[in-house]
Amino acid sequence: MGDTNNRSEKRFTLDSCIGRRCYENPAYLDMLKVRVDFEYSKTVFTEVSIYEIDKRVEYGFDVVQSTLESSIGNEIQVEKITYDMHQLGIWLRENNEGLHVPDDQILAYAMLTDSVLITCDKGLEQAARNVGQDVINPDRVTIDFSRTKSAIAKLAQSKVLLIRQKVQTIKNAKSVILKPGMRIVWRSFV
């Protein structure tokens, strides 16, 4: 293992279809590992992937998750879709023809957590590109991280910034709230 202090942690969000494809075809997973360095990364499935993958009768989410973790040598976390992510997902779906539930929520999660989305769903890939989101489709020969400069991409990125600012403001407000045993020192306001 190398020195993790000199590397920034990369974040990846896995779509349900990439999880299924990698589980069903270990060679596909091996090809993905050649293209993506999972060693110093945070890799995530969203909670909607549990439902999506569990719809498969012959295997379930837990088997997919543990198989992928063993292969990439890193834990794959499961993260919740927050209210803000859900709201952004609705906006994304309304402004991207062909984007549907739950792909809208997975895309919103990737955008708000500044993760690279990994999917083999061409519709989700196109929606991500439309809004300027970094996306990898292992079926493509090259990985292109050029950001879209379209009006919809600029609007989507500004929505992401507003949500991040709102979340940060709430976190700051919570840190200011008095804890039990704390007192207000009124003379400090004079």
User: Tens-digit pLDDT profile for the chain (190 aa)?
Assistant: 444 444 568 999 999 999 999 999 999 999 999 989 998 899 999 999 999 999 876 899 999 999 999 999 999 999 999 999 999 999 999 999 999 999 999 999 999 999 999 999 999 999 999 999 999 999 987 666 666 678 888 888 888 888 888 878 777 766 666 667 766 666 666 5
Distance (Å, rounded) from C-alpha 13 to C-alpha 118? 6
Say whether pTM exceeds 0.85: no
The domain limits of the chain are: 7-176
The class (CATH top level) of 7-176 is alpha beta
Distance (Å, rounded) from C-alpha 44 to C-alpha 121? 17
Answer whether 99's CB lies under 8 Å from 107's CB.
yes
Give the strand order in the sheet containing 135-136. Answer: 76-79, 41-46, 10-14, 116-118, 135-136
